[in-house]
Every structure is written in structure tokens, then in C-alpha cells.
Amino acid sequence: MVFGFVKLPRRFASGLLLVAGIALAEPPVNDQFQRCADLAKSVPGVTPAGCMAAALQPSDAKSVQGRALLFRDIPPKNGAPKVKILVLGGIHGDELTSSTLVFDWIERISRSETEQIHWRMLPVVNPDGLLKRPATRVNARGVDLNRNFPTENWEKDAPRYWIKYTNKDPRRYPGPAPLSEPESRWVHQEIEAFKPDLIVSVHAPFGVLDFDGPPPPPLRVGNLHLHQIGIYPGSLGNYGGLKKRVPVVTLELKHAAEVPADKEMDHMWDDLTRWVDERLLKVQTASSKEPDAKPAGESAENP
Ligand SMILES: [Zn+2]
């Protein structure tokens, strides 16, 4: 299937298919090859073949620049899941290794016998930012997607925070309104439809583990130690953890472009799955909800 890598303008390729009279419910396979070829150029440690093996599906949603927003759904092999976990990478397009980690987890989950967990993986939430040269934190309209979720008092707090505390940092522009961006609307819709018991959001390069929502949090995941760095108007941790009451684990990898060593990747996976086992699977008996969360205090850091 070498043709997938031939540089054929997409419009021309689509035209050929139209001429051939082929009705396509799914995008042409050529698009999947092209997507993976593009992603592999930007996401460290991910090859075109590895990306294809991840078997990402296009959702109904598209980025600002019209790129398909991709996911991989991995339900349990037998029966209904006990726990549903939504995993996001690359919400900030220049945090490249965050996407690498989600691809790595897709591979691990695919080859394991998951029986109790339904995973939904969104490895590249901000493809326009990731594929830009150089990659950008914000989306193609210059919005920080992780400040665009409909948290309490967004209309008042998000612009004020941006002006007062970030000095109108263009990398942290929260957007003109909550959910103004197709990428954040897509994540929001996934949360509404999938109803995850846990959200894991991967970032870089602050080298910490953050947590929002009903406790208890994991204390460490690999070399990342718990350090609750505060909530921001419009952030996913604030929206998911505090407003929706879904635990949100935020992994801040140490480097945005350098993939953690294999051993560290193993440790992170082992720690996270062990915590999920103890925190979620074993608790899924009678009552499902934990006591109230304490909002984490504000701090000067601003990941
Ligand atoms: Zn980030």
C-alpha cells in the first residue's frame, strides 16, 4: 500500500474517487496513511506504521483547519465495563510527547486482556497546533483549548485571569466564549456521551502529577509526583474535576519533545493502572461517589 505515501493532493485524490463513483462512508484509506505519515513527522517515537496500528477512527468532529479529530475506542473484550477512562494527549499542540504517551498506551491496552475497563483514547486533541511548524500550544485560532471549557463563571473569570495574571499571554488566550472551539467542543461532547469515571490528560514539560476532583489522588505515576498546582478558569481539570465531579489525573511529562525512557514509560503505566485498580475497580461495589473534593490552591505556576 505504498501509494498512501505518494504526494497526491487530497483534492485530486478525492476527485479520482468521485470519478470512480465510489461511495465512501469512511474516509479513504489514503487519508489514514496520509494522516499517519503527517503525525509521525511530528510526534516523537511514533512511526507511520505504529500510528496505523493504533487504528484511530475519525470522529464526526473536525479541527478549525478541517482535520479529522481522531480517537480509538477500546471496550472490554467480554461484557460490560466496570470503569470508563478517557485519555487525552496533545491538547497543547507543542507538548509533543503527550501524544506519544497516548499512542504508547493504545499499544499496551490493545495487546492486554482488558476485561473491566473501557478506554477511549484521544491522542491528538489539537492536530492543527501539533502539525504546525513550529508546533503551537494554541489551536489554529490562537485559543488555549485548556482554558476554553465551560467552568463556573467562565465569562467573568477566564478573560480576567488572562488579562491580570498572564498579561494577555497569547499562548494562554481562553477564547471569546466557553467551547468556542471545535476541538474543545469535541472533548466536551466526548465527556457528555462517554461519561468517563476517570479522565487522564497528558501534558509536558512541568514534570509533575496533578489531580482535580473527588479524592484520593495517586501520589505518583512513574517519576511524576503529586503536586496540585491549582485550577484555572476554563481548564479541563477545573471543568471535569470540580464541575463534573470526575477525577482528572493530569500527567505533566518532563520534556515536550524527548520521549521518556522505556523503563519510565513502563513505570508510569504500572503505577497508573495499579491506582485505577485500587481507586476505581475495587471501589466499584455499592456506592460510586467519593467524598467532596477540596479545590486545590492557586499557585504561580501556569501549565
Ligand atoms: Zn499543556
CA 14 / ligand 1 centre spacing (Å): 35
d(CA 38, CA 132): 11
Give the pLDDT of residue 30: 61
For the chain, give the longest Cα–Cα distance: 60
Of residues 16 and 152, the one with the higher pLDDT is 152
Strands 224-225 and 248-252: unpaired
Give the pLDDT of residue 154: 98
Give the pLDDT of residue 300: 36
**Quick one: which of 91, 83, 89 has its CA closest to 104?**
89
Phi and psi angles of residue 7, each rounded to the nearest 5 degrees, phi first: -80, 85
Query: In the predicted model, is pLDDT for residue 281 greater than 70?
Result: yes
Give the confidence band of 120 by pLDDT, cuts at 50, 70, 90.
very high
CA 50 / ligand 1 centre spacing (Å): 24
Rounded (5°) CA angle 245-246-251: 130
Of residues 251 and 11, the one with the higher pLDDT is 251
The domain locations on the chain are: 58-281
Give the pLDDT of residue 206: 96
Calculate what percentage of the chain has a pLDDT beyond 70: 83
Query: In the predicted model, is pLDDT for residue 10 greater than 90?
Result: no
Of residues 20 and 262, the one with the higher pLDDT is 262
Cell of 135: 508546533
CA 154 / ligand 1 centre spacing (Å): 19
d(CA 277, CA 280): 6
CA 69 / ligand 1 centre spacing (Å): 18
Calculate what percentage of the chain has a pLDDT beyond 90: 77
Of residues 11 and 37, the one with the higher pLDDT is 37
CA 256 / ligand 1 centre spacing (Å): 9
d(CA 90, CA 85): 17
CA 134 / ligand 1 centre spacing (Å): 16
pTM: 0.85
Range scoring the smallest mean pLDDT among 59-68, 107-116, 265-274: 107-116
CA 78 / ligand 1 centre spacing (Å): 35
CA 303 / ligand 1 centre spacing (Å): 6
Other CB atoms within a 10 A radius of the CB of residue 50 amount to 18
What tens digit of pLDDT does each residue of 226-270 get?
999 888 999 999 999 999 999 999 999 999 999 999 999 999 999
Average pLDDT over residues 102-109: 97
CA 244 / ligand 1 centre spacing (Å): 20
Give the pLDDT of residue 159: 98
Mean pLDDT of the chain: 87
3-state secondary structure of 95: coil
Of residues 248 and 19, the one with the higher pLDDT is 248
Give the confidence band of 78 by pLDDT, cuts at 50, 70, 90.
confident
CA 37 / ligand 1 centre spacing (Å): 24
3-state secondary structure of 273: helix
Distances in Å between the Cα of 66 and the Cα atoms of 61, 101, 127, 128 are 9, 24, 10, 9
Cβ-based neighbours of 242, under 8 Å, separated by 6 or more = 151, 152, 212, 213, 231, 293, 295
Which CATH number is correct for 58-281, 3.60.110.10, 1.10.10.10, 3.40.50.2000, 3.40.630.10? 3.40.630.10
**Quick one: which of 62, 12, 14, 7 has its CA closest to 38?**
7
3-state secondary structure of 155: helix
Q: Do residues 71 and 114 make contact, with C-beta atoms less than 8 angstroms apart?
A: no
d(CA 282, CA 117): 12
Q: Do residues 179 and 185 make contact, with C-beta atoms less than 8 angstroms apart?
A: yes
Range scoring the smallest mean pLDDT among 22-31, 159-168, 210-219: 22-31
What tens digit of pLDDT does each residue of 289-303 get?
444 433 333 333 445
Q: Do residues 54 and 103 make contact, with C-beta atoms less than 8 angstroms apart?
A: yes
| Side-chain half-sphere CA neighbours of 107 within 13 A | 16
CA 150 / ligand 1 centre spacing (Å): 18
